[in-house]
Amino acid sequence: MSILERISNLDRRIIFLTVAIAVIVPLFLPLRLPIEVTPPVQQLYDVIDSMPARSVVLISIDYDPSGAPELQPATLSIMRHCFAKDLRVLVLGLWAPGVPLGVSALEEVAVGEFGKEYGVDFVNFGYKPGGAVTLVNLGRDVHDVCRQDHNGTPVDSLSMMDDVRAANDIGLVISMSMGIPGSDQWIWYYHARYRGNLATAQTAIGAPKYYQYLQSGQLVGLIGGMKGAAEYERLVGRRGLATVGMDSQSISHLLIIGFVLLGNIIYWLEKRKK
């Protein structure tokens, strides 16, 4: 067997091993390469930064554990920014498996870091089924869709909700999304009817699709994947898991580009031989 054939028939488990090594090694030998902030992330930061104190930001947790490595760091950073600016935060989830992640983020940031008070500074509505249809109703009457919060407390009894009744009372919606229902539904069903500011944080797979909505002005910001989350971490000045992960991303990306080029070199050499 020639060297070319040997390389092209490389056992897939060896490839698997190289990927694991490419991710693990930078965890022990960090490169700490600088992270550039891109315009879509900066735009979202600027929108939140310019909101008057006590404005309401709705964060929709539209992801599950498989989206957490990319979206949870973004959720934490956005919450940090909101509470640092004394904004009020509403959390709900269009994906049931994401709700505990929202609870955990609020516990860590709102309660743990900022000492904010539940029902006054933030409220968690929990999971809301119905996707698009729920969003149409939500914009018209928040209290109708969210009768009880995540813990079963009647929403009418929470003082923060006295002046939050409909879409007009919400200054910014951010959909942390990894699929359907998610940002698509927020854009088509909620923003199209009620306008206002809408932004999204996406897993990297979904992000390319949302540049068109950024260009058309339907979105005021876009955080794409772990890189976007790392950019937001840089903007709020707090190194988190996304920033740590960028070194692993760098090395793995180089490895995969290497594999693509190697595969093509072998392909061209074999083609020339034939």
**Cβ–Cβ under 8 Å, residues 93 and 68:** no
- According to CB under 8 A, which one of 78, 99, 142, 174 is a site residue for another protein? 99
Cβ-contact 196, 173 below 8 angstroms: yes
Maximum C-alpha span of the chain: 77
Contact with another protein (CB under 8 A): which of 4, 120, 257, 269?
257
Choice from 87, 150, 173, 200 touching another protein (CB under 8 A): 150
Residue 238's SS3 state is: coil
In degrees and rounded to multiples of 5, residue 31 shows phi and psi of -90, -30
Q: Should residue 241 be labelled a site residue for another protein when binding is judged by CB under 8 A?
A: yes
Site membership for another protein, residue 250 (CB under 8 A): yes
Q: Would you say the C-alpha torsion 187, 188, 190, 191 has a positive or negative sign?
A: positive
Structure tokens at 138: 């939500």
Instruction: Calculate ∠ Cα 28-31-34, nearest 5°.
Output: 140
Of 43, 47, 86, 97, the one binding another protein (CB under 8 A) is 97
Among 5, 49, 147, 159, binds another protein (CB under 8 A): 147
> Omega into 181 within 30° of 0, i.e. cis?
yes
Touching another protein, residues 199-228 (CB under 8 A)? 203-205, 207-209, 211-212, 214-218, 224-227
Q: What are phi and psi of 91, to 5 degrees?
A: -125, 135
For residue 18, the minimal CB distance to another protein (Å) is: 8
Q: Which of 187, 201, 220, 235 binds another protein (CB under 8 A)?
A: 187
Within 61-80, the residues that bind another protein by CB under 8 A are: 64-66, 68-70
The residue from 166, 169, 188, 236 that contacts another protein (CB under 8 A) is 188
Interface region with another protein, contact rule CB under 8 A, candidates 34-42, 82-90, 115-123, 164-172: 34-42
32: alpha, beta or left? (left if phi > 0; alpha if psi -120 to 50): left
Nearest to 130 by CA among 190, 52, 67: 190
- Closest distance of CB 143 from another protein, Å: 12
- Give the nearer residue to another protein in terms of CB position, either 221 or 245: 245
Query: Residues with Cβ < 8 Å from 63, sequence gap 6 or more?
Result: 71, 95, 98, 101, 176, 177, 178, 179, 182, 203
Judged by beta carbon, residue 8 or residue 55, the one nearer another protein is 8
Site size for another protein, by CB under 8 A? 95
> Please, which residue, 148 or 159, has the CB nearer to another protein?
148
Rounded distance, CA 59 to CA 71, Å?
A: 12
Q: Is residue 148 at the binding interface for another protein, with CB under 8 A as the rule? A: yes
Q: Which is nearer to another protein, 5 or 107 (CB)?
A: 107
Nearer to another protein, 99 or 174 (CB): 99
Q: Does 251 bind another protein (CB under 8 A)?
A: yes
DSSP class of residue 170? -
